[in-house]
Every structure is written in C-alpha cells, then in structure tokens.
Amino acid sequence: MQLRPWALVLALVAGSASAQEAHVSVYDGTFDDAAFELEQAITSQGLVVDHVSNVGEMLSRTGADVGSDVTIFDNAVVYAFCSAQISRQVMEADPANIVHCPYTIYVAERDGQVTLGYRDFPDGPMQAVEDLLGSIVAEVTGG
C-alpha cells in the first residue's frame, strides 16, 4: 500500500496533536464574567467569534447516555475564532498549519475554580498564534 504525501503529513500532525499540552490560567471571578470578558477580549483584537461550543452542557446532557454520572465541569465553553493576518502568515510558512485553524480558547468552571486555556502549538511559525491567544487570556486574567 502506497502512502500519499498528504496522508503522511496528516498522520504526523495527528500523532503530534495528541502530545500537545494546554496553557491554563486561573480567573479570579465568576464563570459568566470570564466568558463575557473573553468574548470582549477577542473582539477588541478585531477578531470575530465564529462559534461558541457549549461543551459543559453537552457533557451534562449526554452523561447518562454513555453510562456516566460524573460531573466534569460546572460550566464549560470553547470560543473558536481566526485571525486572517496571522492565519495567512502561518499558512504561507507551512500550508499544513491549516490543521490548527480555527483557534480556540476555553473557559471552564470546576469545583468553584474558573480557568481559561488554549493549546500549546508547535515551535516555529505557530508561535504567532500562541502569542495572540496568550495575550487575549492575559487581558482577561490580568496575567
């Protein structure tokens, strides 16, 4: 069986994606305030939130369906968005960087603690995305 070049790229990306870590910051306030401030911080950069995924609600709603009664999050949402300028920059450097788009930041509440986080990207051109996400989270958390 001959492996196509694009299949090899996808296999390598998929393998490295599972080893990625997240940058997590604690928010001193309520979940609702953190979610509001995150959306404001994203839009203040001139970016548009493409989608808000209600992960916490989905997990709560489907727990019994998959045989679990564990509450993972009290609240959890993921904001997805993109930056035309930075996306073009990182994809001109390597078209395979499309796998990282759109960019996401989550807000979650668990056991009374609110956190924000985003994934760790590969070294190189993707550092521009990581810097953007870090600056947005720092604006919200004051860090």
Chain segment 85-142, per-residue pLDDT in tens: 999 999 999 999 999 999 999 999 999 999 999 999 999 999 999 999 999 999 999 9
- Give the pLDDT confidence score for residue 26 in this predicted structure: 97
The pLDDT, as a whole number, for residue 36 is 98
Give the model's pLDDT for residue 143: 80
Say if residues 105 and 130 touch (Cβ distance below 8 Å): no
**Would you say residue 70 has pLDDT above 90?**
yes
Give Cα separations from 99 to 13, 49, 91, 132, 143 (angstroms). Answer: 8, 18, 10, 17, 28
For residue 6, is pLDDT > 70? no
Q: Which two tokens mark 35? A: 């979610």
Chain segment 22-64, per-residue pLDDT in tens? 999 999 999 999 999 999 999 999 999 999 999 999 999 999 8
Whether the full predicted model's pTM is greater than 0.75, yes or no, is yes
pLDDT score at 19: 38
Do 78 and 102 meet the contact criterion of CB atoms below 8 Å apart? no
Q: Are 76 and 59 in contact (CB under 8 A)?
A: yes
Q: How far is CA 48 from CA 13, 76, 77, 87, in A?
A: 26, 20, 16, 14
Domains and CATH numbers, the chain: 20-141 (3.30.310.70)
Q: What is the pLDDT of residue 20?
A: 56
Q: Give CA–CA dist 97/27, Å, rounded.
A: 30
